[in-house]
Structure 1
Amino acid sequence: MPDEPTPDDALPGKALPDIVAPGLDVLFCGINPSLMSAERGHHFARPGNRFWPAIHLAGLTPRRLSPDEDRELLRHGLGVTNVVDRPTRTAAELTPEELRAGAAALERLVTRYRPRVLAVLGITAWREGFGRPKAVIGRQPERVGGADTWVVPNPSGLNAHFQLADLARVYRQLRPVPGTG
């Protein structure tokens, strides 16, 4: 992984540009942008979203980044995209067809950029988009686009089933400790 990865230009027509470069350690994949994230032009921009503190507590970034620093993820071997590009107030507004189409587009993106790990942030999006109705949180038996694939808890503040420490514990598993593979 180069010290200064250079991302490709965002795909035209996306409400929120992907932050992606070839060979990332982890590509995080949210369900879809919130209205606030799309308006601000940065991923996980809602104040109650726990993505930024969780990845820092997991040891994936050396300090807590803010949403307006989302492009800094690339310096740490991380990236972010979404299953569906359309911003909504809640992910419940998405149709099954949007999730399935988004899953197919995600597979193409992952095949193109070859991250080591794809981390889908939300079990419901995974189950619906990828046709895995009985899937559970954790490492998945199938790979998407050649990447080791995990489904991890969604960091939205609306997801009360997982506290910040739980998110950090799960996210820590996504990247091996240096020297261990």
Structure 2
Amino acid sequence: MEAARGSTVPDLLEPGLRVLFCGINPSLMSAATGHHFARPGNRFWPVLHASGFTPRRLRPDEEGELLRYGLGITNVVARATARADEVDHAEFVAGGRRLAQVAADYAPRRLAVVGVTAYRTAFDDKRAQVGAQERRVGGVPVWVLPNPSGLNAHWSLEGMAEEFGRLREAVEGER
């Protein structure tokens, strides 16, 4: 795993997605496997299914199927670390600028940042809470979601699925 430190995981993108999910940064497991949210304790895949975004629980190695559902994945910071607290403030700010450009270039209907602290740091918005944001990033409406990392004990699987489900309902309501 240590050999994956500093590596990156390719974005899963195409123009016009319904939702572009944006992780904080890849774990060492994600970098080693080349798949987003690959750490065994990460709850992204179960929550995505439980919230109704996918018809079944996908595995990290099936992430390419997300494009069929109008979903994509990127990260605020591309560099893999063992823990998100290894990413410094300047990297988050630079990542926020990159994310704004990605959003402008690919024009998803929603940008969903999974991790309120990462969002607050990247966009200098100390009061941001989970949910819809007033700000747009790259012209795209933003929704902040709980961090699905297994290290985030503040949120239960059910609570996260509710928040992800609110985003799904908002996007589906725009049809």
TM-score (norm 1): 0.90
Runs of 4 or more above 3 Å deviation: 176-180
Q: Alignment partner of 1:141: what SS?
A: strand
Query: Closer, same or farther in 2 for the Cα pair 1:130/1:157, shift >3 Å?
Result: same
- Structure 2 counterpart of 1:130: 123
Mapping 1:132-151, distance limit 5 Å: 132-151=125-144
Q: Give the number of aligned pairs.
A: 169
- Pair 1:18 & 2:21 matched: no
Give the conservation status (yes or no) of the 8 Å contact 2:25–2:80: yes
- Pair 1:82 & 2:75 matched: yes
Query: Closer, same or farther in 2 for the Cα pair 1:178/1:132, shift >3 Å?
Result: closer
Distance 1:177 1:129 in 2: 24
Give the conservation status (yes or no) of the 8 Å contact 2:20–2:111: yes
Query: How far is 1:180 from its partner?
Result: 3.5
- Structure 2 counterpart of 1:98: 91
Mapping 1:52-67, distance limit 5 Å: 52-67=45-60
- Higher helix share goes to which structure? 2
State the Cα RMSD in Å. Answer: 1.6
Query: Closer, same or farther in 2 for the Cα pair 1:25/1:178, shift >3 Å?
Result: closer
- Structure 2 counterpart of 1:180: 173
Query: Closer, same or farther in 2 for the Cα pair 1:148/1:165, shift >3 Å?
Result: same
Identical residues among aligned pairs (%): 56
Distance 1:49 1:160 in 2: 11
Give the conservation status (yes or no) of the 8 Å contact 2:51–2:168: no
Give the conservation status (yes or no) of the 8 Å contact 2:96–2:122: yes
**Any gaps of 5 or more consecutive residues in structure 1?**
1-12
- Structure 2 counterpart of 1:8: none
